[in-house]
């Protein structure tokens, strides 16, 4: 996931070459790493997997928000952070989750999608702190 930091935002985008929106970004991660297709929108993605309490979050869990612009989704990466495609003015980036008042207020829940191998595989070893 970290290698996609800096990829531009594109509404409806699902590929690094053309850009991502938030749901397209997490869809791409799960399809490329696990061959697991996710639904095409954040509200539909929120309906799959298992509910996870905020104190149970693990890397790879999907985190969901309701903002003025509607639904938003990203992937938890540990250390109170998540990676996401924020909006048309920003590129794919890592943001603080509960330590940022904006995201803390907008947070609606998290889901864990069962995958055939540890979700930590989505993170590159050097940036995940596993040098």
The rounded percent of the chain whose pLDDT value lies above 70 is: 87
Tell me whether residue 74 is in a domain: yes
Q: Which of 84, 112, 122, 123 is catalytic?
A: 84
Any idea what DSSP says for residue 94? E
Q: Mean pLDDT over residues 116-126, rounded?
A: 54
Predicted local confidence at residue 34, as pLDDT: 83
Provide the phi-psi class of 84: left if phi over 0, else alpha when psi is between -120 and 50, else beta: beta
Cα gap 61→119, rounded to integer Å: 8
Predicted local confidence at residue 35, as pLDDT: 87
Number of domains in the chain: 1
Q: Which of 25, 28, 29, 72 is catalytic?
A: 72
Residue 54's SS3 state is: helix
Predicted local confidence at residue 100, as pLDDT: 96
Tell me whether residue 44 is in a domain: yes
Reference 113, options 13, 2, 5, 33; nearest CA is 33
Q: Which of 1, 13, 21, 22 is catalytic?
A: 22
Tell me whether residue 41 is in a domain: yes
Tell me whether residue 104 is in a domain: yes
Told to judge if 57 belongs to the known catalytic residues of this protein, a careful annotator would answer no
Is residue 12 over pLDDT 60? Answer: yes
For the domain that residue 84 is a member of, what is the CATH number? 3.90.1720.10
Tell me whether residue 88 is in a domain: yes
Name the average pLDDT for the chain: 90
Is residue 126 over pLDDT 50? Answer: no
Is residue 17 over pLDDT 70? Answer: yes
Tell me whether residue 101 is in a domain: yes
**How many CA atoms within 13 Å lie on the side-chain side of 102?**
6
Is residue 31 over pLDDT 50? Answer: yes
Tell me whether residue 131 is in a domain: no
Told to judge if 84 belongs to the known catalytic residues of this protein, a careful annotator would answer yes
Q: Note the pLDDT tens digit of each residue in 59-74.
A: 999 999 999 989 999 9
Tell me whether residue 128 is in a domain: no
What residue numbers bound the domain in which 40 lies? 2-122
Q: Mean pLDDT over residues 112-116, rounded?
A: 75
Told to judge if 58 belongs to the known catalytic residues of this protein, a careful annotator would answer no
Q: Note the pLDDT tens digit of each residue in 93-113.
A: 999 999 999 999 999 999 999
């Amino acid at each position: 996931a970290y290698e996609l930091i800096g990829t531009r935002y594109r509404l409806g985008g699902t590929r690094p070459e053309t850009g991502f929106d938030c749901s397209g970004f997490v869809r791409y991660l799960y399809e490329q790493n696990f061959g697991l297709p996710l639904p095409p929108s954040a509200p539909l993605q929120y309906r799959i997997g298992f509910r996870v309490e905020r104190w149970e979050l693990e890397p790879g869990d999907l985190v969901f928000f309701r903002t003025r612009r509607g639904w938003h989704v990203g992937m938890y990466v540990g250390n109170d952070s998540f990676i996401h495609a924020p909006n048309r003015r920003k590129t794919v980036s890592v943001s603080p989750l509960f330590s940022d008042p904006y995201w803390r207020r907008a947070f609606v829940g998290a889901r864990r999608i069962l995958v055939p191998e540890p979700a930590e595989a989505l993170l590159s070893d050097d940036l995940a702190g596993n040098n």
